[in-house]
Amino acid sequence: MEKKALDTTMSHAFMFPMPTVLVGTVVEGRPNYMTAAWCSPACASPPMIAVAINHIRHTTLGIKEQNAFSINVPATRQVVETDFCGIASGNKTDKSGVFTPFYGRLKVPMARECPFNVECGLHTTVDLGSHVLYIGKVEGVFADQDCAPDNNPDPVRIDPIVYIRGKYYRVGDAYADAFTTGKQYKE
């Protein structure tokens, strides 16, 4: 197949699917939740998560204030609240009531309605240009009772929101096992 060269600003457009998470912070004493799709595991041991946040977001003030943030995984039933937190900024709109906060060790607000929550202490900040990559060390992980049978988070029960270029999707069916399917490869 012949290739066509695209604009380099389109480079993030191929990174799909993406997760849809809510970054929880406290800004000037008020809980704030920001929708983020540029979020990824960053290290297994110690466990770390990275999230890329534009300099202009209200959330950045909260991360600076507390040196901590939470990552909350909403379910598809929370799509309205989740999208709202990606439209409205905490600098103009009080988003503290969109979710019910609960707290772990770090005193960053986690959204009780979201089935999966992680609290992170800020480990490293990498200023990349428009966005700052915040790498957080995981200090606590919480899941709804019915979403983590055998203490393993279950993606079907969590029913996370998948983000792809301006649309929300659901997780589809599994069709192959990772780390074993490749053994069928023959040169």
Query: Which two structure tokens, joined as six digits, stand for 63?
Result: 């991360």
110-111 and 116-127 beta bridge pairing: unpaired
Of residues 6 through 25, those in contact with ligand FMN by CB under 6 A are 20
User: DSSP per residue over 160-176, as a string?
Assistant: BPEEETTEEE------S
CB nearer to ligand FMN: pick between 133 and 141? 133
Which listed residue (42, 50, 53, 143) binds ligand FMN by CB under 6 A? 53
Shortest separation between residue 97's beta carbon and ligand FMN, angstroms: 14
116-127 and 131-143 beta bridge pairing: antiparallel
67 binds ligand FMN (CB under 6 A): no
CB nearer to ligand FMN: pick between 53 and 114? 53
- Residue of 97, 82, 87 whose CA lies nearest to 19: 82
Residue 60 CA to residue 167 CA, distance in Å, equals 25
Which listed residue (19, 58, 70, 118) binds ligand FMN by CB under 6 A? 58
Residue 106 CA to residue 21 CA, distance in Å, equals 19
72 and 117 Cβ atoms separated by less than 8 Å: yes
Shortest separation between residue 66's beta carbon and ligand FMN, angstroms: 14
Which listed residue (59, 72, 78, 117) binds ligand FMN by CB under 6 A? 59
- Secondary structure letter of residue 158 according to DSSP: H
Which listed residue (19, 26, 32, 118) binds ligand FMN by CB under 6 A? 32
Shortest separation between residue 148's beta carbon and ligand FMN, angstroms: 25
CB nearer to ligand FMN: pick between 32 and 117? 32
| Matching residue, tokens 């799909």 | 16
The residues of the shown chain that bind ligand FMN, judged by CB under 6 A, are 20, 32, 34-38, 52-54, 57-59, 83, 86-91, 163
